[in-house]
Amino acid sequence: MNLGGYRNHEAWVNLSEGAIEYRKLNETDLKRYVGARGLGVKYMVDHKVYDAEPFSPENMLAVMTGPLTGTRVHMSGRLCTVTRSPLTGTVTDSHMGGWTAARLKWAGFDNLIFTGKSEEPVYLYVEDGKAELKDASNLWGKTTRETINALQQLYGDKDTSIMAIGQGGEKLVRYSGWMNEDDRSAGRGGSGAVAGSKNLKAIVIKATQKGNMPEPALPEKYPTAVKNGLAAINEGALTAPNKGGLSVYGTNVLMNIMNEVGALPTKNSQESYFAEADAISGEAIRDELLVAEPTCHACPVACKKEVEVKDGKYKTRTESYEYESAWALGGNCGTSNKEAIAYLINQCNDYGIDTIELGNTFSMAMEAYEKGLIEDKIVWGDVDTMIAWVDKIVNREGIGDILAEGPGNAAKKFGNGQLAMVVKNQSIPAYDPRGVQGIGLAYATSNRGACHLRGYTIAAEIAGIPEAVDRSKVEGKGGLLKVFQDLHAFSDSLDLCKFSSFSENADLYAEQYSAVVGIELTGDDIMKIGERVYNIERYFNNQAGFDGKEDTLPERFLKEPATGNSAGEVSHLAEMLKEYYEVRGWENGVVTKEKLKELEIEEIVGA
């Protein structure tokens, strides 16, 4: 294979047999699906994982990088996990930052693919193009940090990356994920629970950058491509270092912005304005709790904000105080106690569970108690009960056993499924679809369940990037969303940080890809690849039994008006969905044979 950026080397780990097979990558697959998210879902389709129960040995768990991983291309420090989600039943991918992805590439691997189930707990050790399964019995039952610390004592912390699951994954909490040594999480969709079902506790990667960075295929074009990408990042309104956006306040820069427009879901989305939002905003956290600003490989933005509560019963230190976490465990649960939220985030990181899903689980339970549907008492703002219930969830004790199944399943158990703010059984993030019309369509049509990262229309509807779009407008949102979904599907396949799209466009992505890989692509070419990735994901879901009826929103967003500066608004999903299906070329929510043929997918799926 003559493509640059790749190691052309991946490990297929059969956990049932304790066997590891090394394989080369298929060049045609790389040209069509690139890597990371795209190539991961291609593998899921190839092996008909849509027929596998998520917790069965037949489910696959893929740990993937992209062709820009480990290079000097800025914001390329992402790693992707792909599997069939135990929370949603859809194909899912979840990404983590830090240095894990780069070190996996420097260790000589593009990807690690796990199948089967080990009889006993194991971890995988990776170094110099070789992988080895090792006994993890002494690590089972430990938190993510305890696991990472124990493995660092064994292998050292220099030039070492470790990703691990906690008790959440071990106990099959359906929204558990992976954490690495930098407290970066692949949190959504339950890939940590899939690892737990396979008795896979951790992955240890030993590698140095020196002498191991992938060589670009077009070295004469590579410096310019890297320089142009950095220039765009340094000029971006949200990405420019030290100019008030992500660099200064982190993702939590959005708290006051979303609240001001009346699009901050509050008290399980019964309202869309939180009067005390400023107390948990990025500005407040920077002023009162910030202690460090670490960054990921090849990233000049440094959006992560490490915080410390130095005394009191919520004493803790954690990284990072993200917008989604602060909202989910804060305003969504009726609290502005920033110290308690930091403690809860730290609990989630320790146990390896998704903060977004947990916050929605708590807010649903609070409303259920308010309505007399459950006897276990938990009221709005009761942070101490929230903290206590985290332990119950990860140990599956009492009501925690129900809540460990996720808010969608739990709400049905409580007798009112409409109390769960979920799409395809995955909880919404921190944007109210009544106040921002396009993001509601994005939730409904996301292939992995409610998600802002599949198609971040907030960039246009709130931040005016790449151009301002009226957030209350319905017309044109189907076409707008398709552009965002396809662009993100490509960047997730590279695997670039989503925030790069706040300053870089399709042409810059194409320039960087071309310089590293050696295949000349245009911006239009990469959008076509992104469309292919989005459609093969949808094909997977169709085969798994999803036929488009699931492309909807909770009734609350369709019928109950918003508050704040979006007062009176509801989501006009039906109108947008009709336009969306038309621009996608789908029959309602189903990919057509014609679309599969157009995107050169039909020969893979046998359509």
Q: Where are the alpha helices (DSSP H) in 296-436?
A: 323-328, 338-351, 355-370, 383-394, 399-403, 407-414
Do both 174 and 142 map to the same domain?
yes
**Same domain? 442 vs 297:** no
Does residue 235 form part of some domain? no
Cα separation, 239 vs 249, whole angstroms = 11
| Mean pLDDT to the nearest integer, 495-509 | 96
What number is the average pLDDT over the span 226-242?
94
Same domain assignment for residues 65 and 40:
yes
- For the cut 70, the answer to whether the pLDDT of residue 605 exceeds it is no
- Whether 301 and 75 have beta carbons less than 8 Å apart is answered as yes
Q: Residue 243's pLDDT is what? A: 82
Strands 111-115 and 10-14: parallel
Asked if the model's pLDDT at residue 426 lies above 60, the reply is yes
Q: Which residues contact 102 (CB under 8 A, 6 or more apart)?
A: 69, 70, 76, 77, 209, 297, 298
Q: Are both 388 and 302 inside the same structural domain? A: yes
Residue 238 domain-assigned?
A: no
Residue 474 structural domain = 437-605
Assign 244 a pLDDT band (cuts: 50, 70, 90): confident
Res. 280: pLDDT tops 90: yes
Burial environment of residue 559 by CB neighbours within 10 A (0 to 12, 13 to 18, 19 or more): exposed
Indicate whether 443 and 542 sit together in one domain. yes
User: Is 28 inside any structural domain?
Assistant: yes
Q: Is residue 218 part of a domain?
A: no
Residue 93's CATH number: 3.60.9.10
Q: Where are the beta strands (DSSP E) in 428-546?
A: none
Same-domain check for residues 355 and 490: no
Do 489 and 406 belong together in one domain?
no
Do 115 and 255 share a domain, yes or no? no
The DSSP annotation for 30-59 comes to HHHH-SHHHHHHHHHHHTTGGGS-TTSTTS
pLDDT of amino acid 28? 95
* Domain stops at, among 386, 407, 427: 427
* pLDDT greater than 60 at residue 607: no
Confidence tier at 606 by pLDDT (50, 70, 90): low
Q: 293 to each of 29, 248, 288, 307, 538, how far by Cα in Å?
A: 38, 9, 14, 9, 38
Average per-residue pLDDT for the chain: 97
Q: Are residues 304 and 172 located together in one domain of the fold?
A: no
Cα angle for residues 105, 109, 112 (degrees, 5° grid): 115
Q: In the prediction, which pLDDT does 218 show?
A: 97
- Residue 301 has, within 13 A of its CA and on its CB side, a CA count of 34
Question: Do residues 78 and 495 make contact, with C-beta atoms less than 8 angstroms apart?
Answer: yes
Whether 446 and 506 map to the same domain: the answer is yes
Residue 494: give its domain's CATH number: 1.10.599.10
pTM confidence score: 0.97
What pLDDT, on a 0 to 100 scale, did the predictor assign at position 242?
Answer: 82
Query: At what angle are helices 437-445 and 573-584 packed, to 10 degrees?
Result: 60
Position 72 in a domain: yes
In-domain check, residue 5: no
- Find the mean pLDDT for residues 293-322: 93
CATH code of the domain covering residue 343: 1.10.569.10
Whether the per-residue pLDDT at 167 is higher than 70: the answer is yes
Q: Is the pLDDT score of 602 beyond 80?
A: no
What pLDDT digit, counting tens, does each position of 367-396 carry? 999 999 999 999 999 999 999 999 999 999
Residue 320 confidence (pLDDT): 83
pLDDT digits (tens, 9 = 90+) for 127-148: 999 999 999 999 999 999 999 9
Asked if residue 226 belongs to a domain, the reply is no
Q: Give the DSSP letter of residue 471.
A: T
159, 285: one domain:
no
592/472 same-domain check = yes
Last residue of a domain, one of 376, 396, 427: 427
How many structural domains compose the chain?
Answer: 3
H or E element that contains 534: helix 523-543
Q: Averaged over 266-279, what is the pLDDT?
A: 98
Q: Give 255's contacts (C-beta < 8 A, 6+ positions apart).
A: 264, 277, 278, 280, 281, 282, 323, 326, 327
Q: Is residue 224 part of a domain?
A: no
Query: Is the separation of the CB atoms in 205 and 186 below 8 Å?
Result: no
Q: Domain ends where: 362, 395, 427?
A: 427
Choose among 464, 489, 440: nearest CA to 93. Answer: 489
Query: Which residues lie closer than 8 Å to 94 by C-beta, 6 or more apart?
Result: 80, 81, 177, 178, 186, 187, 188, 189, 191
Least confident of 120-124, 418-422, 600-604: 600-604
Q: Which residue has tokens 């009067």?
A: 275
